[in-house]
Amino acid sequence: MKPIRKLAFVVNEEKSGAPELASTLITVAKKSGVKYKQTKRFPVPKGYLEGFDACCVIGGDGTLLGVAREAARAKVPIIGVNRGSLGFLTTFSAEESPAQFADLLSGNFTIDHRAMLDCSTGPGTHDLALNDVLIKDQINSRIVHLEVFANNELVTRYTCDGLIFSSPTGSTAYNLSAGGPLIHPDAAVISMTPICPHTLSNRAIIFQEKVKLRVHNRTENSRLLVAMDGQRNLKVGMDSPIEITISKLRLPLVQRADYSHFSVVRTKLKWTGGLVD
């Protein structure tokens, strides 16, 4: 890849060691002749990434999710450095990044283009999600009745605590916790996983890339909550359908040259492959 000459930093100061690590990586960048700027705000301000070759996010996966929309719109690759816990998206560890950073800045990396979800809750009201779209009642304890259509064909009516619509990247997040499938990030699909369905035969469904999903609220006197990546909520009118598709935009995500998706999965999920006694 081309060397990185202009680099934007996004630093989550609430993560232990993140400011110190940022200072170390900025020193490496300056020694490599890289121009930089830094912010502690996320989601990042609109236009913050314009004109930059890459964005280095230092924090956890939540920090990276707060930058993903702007990075996809600006077509600026994200370098995720993990100062959080699990770190599926922030694939460079805090321990290894200082030694590898100069090599990375020189162009020794690859880029994954990750699918994103586009969700609309009414005219002029839509947002992008890298991981997932969650639909549930505004009151946590209430069951919802949700009717789902795929390309105008009725799928079914769910009685459940909610629905998770996940991208392949987000399949290791809330979707996995709710019993949904793991999906390779290169797969062009959407996963729909019901949360605590009241029919035992209700299971996750995988839809193809060009599907147009539409969700209607059939719960009396109920308003829905639509959460994008667990960070932003969209307003939904009483009678407004919710529409979900795969966006035309992709998030460019920087990976090390020897990146292996399944190696990351084995490590993060602690798969040993050993026999159980």
Active site residues: 61
Contact 242, 226 (CB under 8 A): yes
Angle at 231 between CA 241 and CA 175, to 5 degrees: 70
Q: Are 35 and 9 in contact (CB under 8 A)?
A: no
The overall longest dimension of the chain from CA atoms, in Å, is 62
Token pair belonging to 153: 């064909």
33: left (phi > 0), else alpha (psi -120 to 50), else beta?
left
* Short-list 139, 129, 135, CA closest to 148: 135
Q: What φ, ψ does residue 88 adopt, rounded to 5°? A: -70, -35
Q: How many residues does the chain have?
A: 277
Strand partners for 35: 6
CA distance 111 to 94: 20
Q: Which residues pair with 245 in a beta bridge?
A: 118
